[in-house]
Structure 1
C-alpha cells in the first residue's frame, strides 16, 4: 500500500476548482445517456450507468438532470456518440490522455490536434503514451471518514489493491473491472464515497516547476473547455509550493 499521492490530490483539487458547473453537468449528462443507451436504463443493473450517476451525484448534479439524461436514452432521441481516445505530449514532455465522446469524429480530431499545437503539445498516435498509465478504479473518501488503519482494513476486505491517505482524503485504488464490487463493499463499511470513477493512473510522473505547470494547465484547460472532451489526464506532479502559486 502506497503513501501520499500528489498526482491524485492535484487532479482532484484541479477538477473541483476549475470545472465550470454547467459544462461539467453537460459532460455528465452525455456519459449517463450513452451508458443508459448501451445497457440497461436501471443503474442497479448497469455498472457503467451506476458509476456515471454516482459521480454526477458526488458533484451535486440535480436529480432532475440525471433522470432527464436517462429518459433521453430510453426515448431513443439521444445523439449517436462515438468514444475516441487521443494521446499525446504536453509541454515538458508530459504524457496526456484525452477521452472524448463525439457525434463528429473529424471535428473532434481537428479541435484536439489544434489545441495541442497551440499550447506547446504534440498529438501522437493511439498507444503512444497509453502504456505509461494503468486503467484503475479510484474511490475517494474524505479523511474524516476514519483513521488510516480503519480505511486500510475496509479497503483490503473490499478487495482493493492500494490505499493512499493524506490529511485531506483517502484514495482507494482497485482493478478497473472490480470497481463496482469494491465500491459497493466500501459503501457498506464506510458509507457513501466522495467520488468513484475509472481513471488513467500514471505509472511515473514528471515533476514540474511553476512555469511548466502554468503551460500544462493552459493546455488542460483548453482541452477541458472543448464540448467533446470528457476527461483529460496527465502524468505530472508539482510541489505544494508550486500549487499554491498557481
Structure 2
C-alpha cells in the first residue's frame, strides 16, 4: 500500500465549478434520482444513494434540492436515465473514459463525439481504452480532513488499498469494498467529499503545453454537456505547464 501517488482522478470540474454551479447541481440531482430509483430512497440502506447525497453535500447543494431529487424517484416522476460509457482518445494519445446519464442515447453520443472530435480526439469502440485502467473504489477527502500520515493510517485500518495525498486525499479500494471502507473512515475522518467507483489508469501520459491546452478545452466541452457525469483519463499535466496555461 503506497502512501503517495502523483495520479489524480480526472474529474475535470473542480476549477470551474463555481461558475457552473447550476449545471453541477443538475448533474448531482440526476445521479441522486438514478441512485434512488435503482435501490431504496433511504441513503442508509442504499450505498450508491448515500455516496450521491454525500457528493451533493460536499458541493453545498441545498437540502431541499437533494430531497427533491430523491422524491422524484420515490414518486416515479422525471425521466428514466440510462447509464452509458464512451471510450476514446484525446490529444497526445491520452485515453479517456466518459460516463454519462441520459434519457436520449442518440443526442448524447452525437454531442460527445462532436466535443471530442473538435478538440483533437476521437471516440473508439467499447473496450478500446478501459483495458488500460483498473476499476476501483475511490473515496475522496479534502486536505482539511488531516495530514497525510493520519489519513494513511485511517485508510489502512479501514481496509483500503492505496492512498494519494496531494491537494486532497484519494483513498483507493477494491470495487466491492468501496462502501465498507467509506463507512469505516467516517468515524475517523468525517463524511467524505465523494465515494464512487472510478477508473484508475495503469500508466499515465505526460502532456506538453500545446497538447494540455487542447485537452483542457476538450474536458471543458464535455463538462458543459448536461448528460456527461464524469470524465476519467490517463494524463499528467505538470505544475509548470498548468502555470503557463493560467
| Structure 1 length-normalised TM | 0.93
Aligned match of 2:174: 175
More helix by share: 1
Provide the residue aligned with 1:146 in structure 2: 146
SS in 1 for 2:126: coil
SS in 1 for 2:76: coil
Question: 1:6 touches 1:238 (CA, 8 Å); kept in 2?
Answer: no
Per-residue CA deviations over 1:109-153 (Å, capped at 9, x if unaligned) read 111111111111111011100111112222223334334333222
1:212 maps to what in 2? 211
Structure 1 contact 176–198 (Cα < 8 Å) conserved: yes
Aligned partners of 1:97 and 1:129 also within 8 Å: yes
Contact kept? 1:207, 1:237, Cα under 8 Å = yes
Q: Post-superposition shift, 1:3?
A: 4.9
Q: Please identify, of 37-46 and 134-143, the stretch whose mean Cα deviation from structure 2 is larger.
A: 134-143
Counterpart position of 1:122: 122
Equivalent runs, 1:153-192 vs 2, <5 Å: 153-166=153-166, 168-192=167-191
Equivalences, count: 243
Alignment of 1:6-155 (within 5 A): 6-8=6-8, 11=10, 14-19=12-17, 20-155=20-155
Unpaired stretches in structure 2, ≥5 consecutive residues: none
Answer 1 or 2: higher relative contact order, Cα 8 Å, separation at least 6. 2
Q: 1:195: Cα distance to partner?
A: 3.1
Structure 1 residues without counterparts, runs of 5 or longer = none
Q: Deviation at 1:169?
A: 2.7
Q: CA RMSD in A?
A: 1.6
* Residue of structure 2 in register with 1:222 after alignment: 221
Tell me, what secondary structure is at the counterpart of 1:8?
coil
Change (3 A) 1:68 1:5: same
TM-score, structure 2 normalization = 0.93
What is the alpha-carbon distance in structure 2 between the residues aligned to residue 146 and residue 104 of structure 1? 43
